[in-house]
Structure 1
Amino acid sequence: MKIAIVYASMTGNTEMIAEEFKAYFDKHSVEYQSYHINHDDFFAFDLTDYDAILFGSYTYGDGELPFELEDFYDELDDEDLSGKIFSLFGSCDSFYPLYGVALDILADKFTAQGATVVGEYLKVDLAPDGEDIKQVHALADTFLNATK
């Protein structure tokens, strides 16, 4: 089972969540690859190299995809994600009326391309705290159980 953690992060909050997933996987001896979109060469077609993907994104402004995911999102139209397992996480800001909708938008696209999205979307208000870390671990367990 090839697993990837893929995320977009502008302020570092979503990256902190990704780091928690990585630490959890390391502790449980789970092999994975990690990619920070816009820092690493990772494109929509690269998703097809993996069986299961933890995908993270922040929501920009008033409910928009981050700019670094706009082309990625459009390129997903060309990808068959049948049989792929996804779980979603991201930093959100409760200041805005549309809370974390980038995850909803991405989940709809992944599902439309044939993927299975498992677990509740992990929407963290800004930076993760202790309670959020518990939710990271719970989603990691749900995600890993779906890969068996």
Structure 2
Amino acid sequence: MATARIVYASMTGNNEEIAGIVEEELEKYGVTVTTTEVSQAMAEDFQTVDICIVATYTYSDVGDGVLPDEAVDFYEDLQELDLTGKVYGCCGSGDKFYDDFATSVDDFDHAFAATGATKGAPSVKIDLAPEDDDIAALEAFTKAIVEKQQSL
């Protein structure tokens, strides 16, 4: 049975909700899931699972999108890992009001790519809270990740 870890950063609760949706979908496929808030997680935890997922928000300060403060150490540690043989996915919320919409999702995608992990699905970026079409996108995201992990 496959295992997964979801690490999320959430200021408003949107990404906690996103992580919960992905967790429920993974469980439908029989995946054993652990979900952790980023300040309580260690990047090394990804070494013990088959599927690695990050759900993050982008902090916009004066129009510049940056990683959440609580995710910076995790992000830096992630880039030092060898996750060859693992499948990853990135998702998260942002606010389309800002020019740098959900850029932290892209930052984590690049960090995972540097670890040697295999991208399981295109990243999903959600404007604020997930709506019905966003939930469908997260369901497709999760399905693709599971299928990629099964094909390895």
Of stretches 18-27 and 117-126 in structure 1, the one that deviates more from structure 2 is: 18-27
Residue 120 of structure 2 contacts residue 146 of structure 2 at CA under 8 Å; is this kept in 1?
no
Match of 2:25 in 1: 24
**Runs of 5+ unmatched residues, structure 2:** none
Match of 2:142 in 1: 140
**Runs of 5+ unmatched residues, structure 1:** none
TM-score normalised according to structure 1 size = 0.92
Separation (CA, whole Å) in 1 of partners of 2:18 and 2:25: 11
Match of 2:104 in 1: 102
Deviation at 1:71, TM superposition (A): 0.9
Q: Tell me the amino acid that sits aligned with residue 18 of structure 2.
A: I
Separation (CA, whole Å) in 1 of partners of 2:59 and 2:134: 20
Separation (CA, whole Å) in 2 of partners of 1:28 and 1:47: 19
Deviation at 1:45, TM superposition (A): 1.3
Deviation at 1:2, TM superposition (A): 1.9
Q: Tell me the amino acid that sits aligned with residue 59 of structure 2.
A: Y
SS at match of 1:140: helix
Separation (CA, whole Å) in 1 of partners of 2:115 and 2:106: 14
1:79 and 2:81 matched: yes
Identity %: 36
Match of 1:89 in 2: 91
TM-score normalised according to structure 2 size = 0.89
List per-residue Cα deviations over 1:40-88 (Å, max 9, x = no partner): 3x11111111121121111111210111111111222431111211011
CA RMSD of aligned residues (A): 1.3
Give aligned pairs, total.
146
Relative to its length, the structure with more strand (as a share) is 2
